[in-house]
Amino acid sequence: MGELNEKCGVFGIFGTGLDVSRLAFYGLFALQHRGQESSGIAVSNGWRIDSFKNNGLVTHAYSESDIEKLKGHIAVGHNRYSTSEGSGLLHAQPILSRDRQLALAHNGNLPSVQRLKAFLEGKGFSVAGKADSELMTDAISYYLEQGLSLGDSVKNAYPLFTGAFSVVAMTRDELVAFKDGCGIRPLCMGRLNGGFVFASETCAFNTIGAEFLRELDAGEMVLVNNEGITSAIVVKDAKLRFDSFEFVYFARPDSYLLGKSVYEVRRRCGMRLASDKVIEADIVIPVPETAIPVAMGYSEASGIPTEMALIKNRYIHRTFITPDQHSRDLGVKLKLTPLPEMIRGKRVVVIDDSIVRGTTSKQIVKALFEAGAKEVHFVISSPPVRYPDFYGIDTPYQKKLIAASKSVSEICEFLGADSLTYLSIEGLVECIGIPKENLNLSCFNGDYAIDILERRKEIIIP
């Protein structure tokens, strides 16, 4: 799919005797899919916080000497794709407070920062040009400067944060992890050699050999220091509304979210699509990589064989790696190559996870016909994306979302496909296996789990 810009990945670790900077590096490497623009690690050795940030992929951002210089027993790390305030290292994370006593990494987005800015301006902080994560850091650091503990500082600043956030942050001697009251963004906790690890996804634990313990609850704060680990729910009326798009697209297939295998959820989506509508076809072709488990399930349920007839150049990363449109369009052409010998004269079911603007999907349909396909039927493992996201996915403005203004038949005509099938909202919920009231489906139905306040004026198509 590649038209939704990624959220971010966060990682935190506390453990004496652990090589925390190196473990953070490998954890961020496992979370590379969540952000490919910049990466950063901050480390505390008990009396000072040092950090390193760089543009690019994790394997390119750090050298051995960079990791060697980051000595300590606490670390927080971050992979970024810009969701606010533009790109580049200026807003790269982890964010350090003005006195370098706090480092913070944030996955998510605050659609409204008016209350947060008003608070900080009243306390003498400059807010001009600052992204939401920087403002969050300032708010927590203000309370730290007043002599409060890290836990109490987070509790006091928490009501100022209007939006989605899974955060790992540290002072010189403590590590904290906390989530918004709807738990929209993922964040899990593990154990490693007596220490504790936090990451956006369980796949990071597999990479470093940590034992998965559990996911943080909505509105939960977990604090780790030399005396142990404590937990508290810091928001009244916390209610889980987890982002359904994690299952559709963002999470790695080998991760578990809310106890559900991402791979199995996607496979069930494929089976449901095959049972919802019978398509007479010769082959099923997934758009790599996210749609592969979907295609496996579709093939199993329909009896139509799967062929990997769209070859992905694995050295071309998701097509939004460079935020400008020209580079994105070029990336699509470089990214996927059809195999004419597998396609020629065939009725093709091509499976993808979603359609956003429709330009990528249109190019895929065109490429398949040029490769000799007799028919092309487009099948999507999510409902139509009709509304923008305000919780950490850098979606286009609503008027650029093709499903906001076109019917399914009109989208099909735009793509040039013989048919177009979407998974229903009910079908997606059933395949995830989580009650609908515990999922955020706002991209599909406009029901925003957390009030988007002044951003609601951006919803121009009901």
* Catalytic residue IDs: 8
Residue 218 burial by Cβ neighbours in a 10 Å radius (0-12, 13-18, 19+): buried
Q: Is the peptide bond before 289 cis (omega within 30 degrees of 0)?
A: yes
How many other CB atoms sit within 10 Å of the CB of residue 164? 29
Token pair 């790695």 is found at 252
Give the C-alpha separation, 222 to 178, whole Å: 6
Cβ atoms of 173 and 46 closer than 8 Å: yes
Give the C-alpha separation, 71 to 20, whole Å: 8
Q: Look up residue 237 and give its two tokens.
A: 């009326």
Please give the C-alpha separations between residue 196 and each of 18, 73, 111, 180, 189, in angstroms, as whole numbers. 10, 11, 31, 21, 7
Give the C-alpha separation, 100 to 309, whole Å: 52
C-alpha neighbours within 13 Å on the C-beta side of residue 122: 7
